[in-house]
Structure 1
């Protein structure tokens, strides 16, 4: 999730660039808007679908984080399942953030806050973090990103990350356990993807 990756677009999509997409999220068929210049604009990608299928429902209240939100399938799902929670959709891609805002408005999900990383207040702690992290930004950038956000889990909070087995899920699991000093479990494995879970005691 850096300004150097190929999913970064500094400007919101124009009317001509946006297109409607029908998706299944949180057990509902929804119409959303997507556009080129964001990750997986034509569908809910397989990794995100595995995450949404395999993790338990998010906490019903508190602050929830979709880290690297893209056009918003994870954030929208969290908000639909937990209407009393505040959902932070975080990305550096201004086009993605604009799409999340449009989709949240379209679906009446006014508890979603689409924000750049620096715009999330430092005193916000997360009851849950869900992420299809941007593995392709490189190991150093990915590690920096995860070490910035995972320590902000509130007591009792859980982070669920979906990572392709062929993209280093098992080595990332070991690294996270060492870096965070806490067990990191592989809680699901499906279609070549692992769901890694970090729990804050």
Structure 2
């Protein structure tokens, strides 16, 4: 049976990789490994989401943070944020902590299957959801995000059109007070929802 990036404790052999990437004029350093999502480079959807984020403030949750690319890119834009990174994958979360430190940033890390270990409210939740985990899992994640948002808080997510963006947007419009596509680029839709 193949090992997926949403595996709790990956057993695949390590294949550490170090690289830099330029994001909005800033050079960021990263380390990745086998057993994590998009181990070769920053996922295009994650980068599109981070470029199109509205002005953020306060507490932000990066749900399904993987190796921390979205946290690092977001903090490079908004350094005063209080970011919590959460992922079910222990290896990915360890890399996320290292990548935040590598870029002289700070964020809290929480090992969590979805929102199981998440406490408190956030002004924003950002996510590139684990599409391969299935529609039921990601739709539950969207509902759980709403429960952890402060009044007026936002969920910002990225999903490819061919992987269900139109139906996800329809569901999100029923779930949230407001939901709209704020960016479309290369088949990726960035959707912002307000509680």
The root-mean-square deviation of aligned C-alpha atoms, in Å, is 2.1
Partner of 1:156: 152
Is the contact made by 2:48 and 2:185 (CA closer than 8 Å) also made in structure 1? yes
Which consecutive aligned stretches of 4+ in structure 1 deviate over 6 angstroms post-superposition? Answer: none
Q: 1:101 aligns with which of 81, 87, 97?
A: 97
Partner of 1:82: 78
Could you tell me how far 1:188 is from its partner in structure 2?
1.3
Q: Is 2:177 the counterpart of 1:198?
A: no
Could you tell me how far 1:68 is from its partner in structure 2?
0.9
Aligned residues: 190
Structure 1 regions of 5+ residues with no counterpart?
Answer: none
Is the contact made by 1:13 and 1:35 (CA closer than 8 Å) also made in structure 2? no
What per-residue deviation string (whole Å, max 9, x for no partner) do you get for residues 30-55 of structure 1?
22111111000111111112112222
Is the contact made by 2:24 and 2:51 (CA closer than 8 Å) also made in structure 1? no
Is the contact made by 2:3 and 2:35 (CA closer than 8 Å) also made in structure 1? no
Could you tell me how far 1:27 is from its partner in structure 2?
3.1
Structure 2 regions of 5+ residues with no counterpart?
Answer: none
In 2, distance between residues paired with 1:68 and 1:154?
A: 19
Aligned pair in 2 of structure 1 residues 26, 90: CA closer, same or farther (>3 Å)? farther
Could you tell me how far 1:113 is from its partner in structure 2?
1.0
What per-residue deviation string (whole Å, max 9, x for no partner) do you get for residues 28-87 of structure 1?
11221111110001111111121122222422xx21011111111111122222322210
Is the contact made by 2:176 and 2:194 (CA closer than 8 Å) also made in structure 1? no
Aligned pair in 2 of structure 1 residues 181, 33: CA closer, same or farther (>3 Å)? closer
TM-score w.r.t. length of structure 2: 0.88
Is the contact made by 1:58 and 1:81 (CA closer than 8 Å) also made in structure 2? no
Aligned pair in 2 of structure 1 residues 58, 181: CA closer, same or farther (>3 Å)? closer
TM-score w.r.t. length of structure 1: 0.86
